[in-house]
Amino acid sequence: MNRVAKVDRVIAVCVPSEPIAASLADLPVEPLVWSGEDAAPDGLDRVEFLVPRYMAGPPPADSLAGLPNLRVVQLLSAGYETWLPLIPDGVQLCNGRGIHGASTAELAVGGLIALLRQLPRFHDDQLAGRWQRRRTDSLDGRQVLVLGAGDIGGRVAAAVTALGAEATVVARTPRPGVRTLDEVNGLLPEQDVVVVALPHTDETDRLVDAAFLARLPDGACLVNVARGAIVDTDALVAELGTGRLRAFLDVTDPEPLPDGHPLWTAPNVLITPHVGGGTHGWEDRSARLVHDQVARYLAGEPLQNVV
């Protein structure tokens, strides 16, 4: 089906980079390239389809000012919570599901394996020129609770299952084969691993608090590749300090993690600086998604990833 068959006009589309603008060359659009960091280009008042810059931080309250014809905001991230309060009636908000799912799930599983197999300790031994064998944990036979049944959570569950673990997936809404958040408390005492892959909402803010962590058995691992504010940082630091739990964090609260923060020196924690989606090729995936979404919009077809 020709997705642009209904088009009888050229629309203005605002995108954050030249490569994304170039990907739209076969569509009847006028691309305006604007990262949001410099002065707004002429013609912004005609824009119907806006693609904000990836990893730009929380948007200013007036981010959509001067766009009276706006109909779609297409994000390049899976997270969307900071944009929700800014979206006016009549404007669709779409997230970047599919752009970063595989790479973020890969990092979640990679960080978890690094914890279980004690790779940081082996690296320390390497730097010291010390050949010291030790027995480590593995995923085989482990119980893994995945909080989030979206693109990232689904991929994590599939990966750990392939490595011999038993995955239980939890989501905010019930569906076949997926448990609900109100069942989590009863599941926690049996879990060796909890992977956080939920969006940050009022419902999930500080979901992983002191009571949540206390229900986990000794030696359990927490993995967070979602948003830092889903985890109560002080409660996690307290548990890590006792040596009872382990954690892999690609996101933190606060973020960036400031100098001197106790998470930096807490035992049994591995931290990466929010790089789940930061792999080579994400720009190409972004351009393909934006192209497909603009084509759908021009053809009057339903958009994907509508929040």
Q: Which domains does the chain have, with CATH numbers?
A: 11-99+280-299 (3.40.50.720), 101-271 (3.40.50.720)
Would you state the pLDDT for residue 2?
A: 56
B/e letters for 6-44, b = 16+ CB within 10 Å, e = fewer, are: ebeeebbbbbbbeebbebbeebebebbebeeeeeeeeeb
C-alpha span between 183 and 20 (Å, rounded): 42
Would you state the pLDDT for residue 173?
A: 85
Question: What type of residue sits at position 79?
Answer: G
C-alpha span between 256 and 273 (Å, rounded): 7
Beta-bridge partner residues of 262: none
C-alpha span between 226 and 250 (Å, rounded): 8
Yes or no: say if 231 and 196 are a contact pair by the CB < 8 Å rule. Answer: yes
Q: Which residues are catalytic?
A: 227, 255, 274
C-alpha span between 24 and 22 (Å, rounded): 5
Beta-bridge partner residues of 231: 208
C-alpha span between 228 and 196 (Å, rounded): 10
In order along its 307 residues, the chain shows pLDDT tens digits of: 456 656 678 999 999 999 999 999 999 999 999 988 888 888 999 999 999 999 877 788 888 988 999 999 999 998 888 899 999 999 999 999 999 999 999 999 999 999 999 999 999 999 999 999 999 999 999 999 999 999 999 999 999 999 999 999 999 888 888 999 999 999 999 999 999 999 999 999 999 999 999 999 999 999 999 999 999 999 999 999 999 999 999 999 999 999 999 999 999 999 999 999 889 999 999 999 999 999 999 999 999 999 9
With residue 236 as reference, give the H or E element that holds it: helix 233-242
Q: Which residues contact 305 (CB under 8 A, 6 or more apart)?
A: 94, 95, 96, 97, 98, 293
Would you state the pLDDT for residue 267?
A: 96
Please give the distance of CA 250 from its chain centroid, rounded to a whole number: 10
C-alpha span between 56 and 76 (Å, rounded): 10
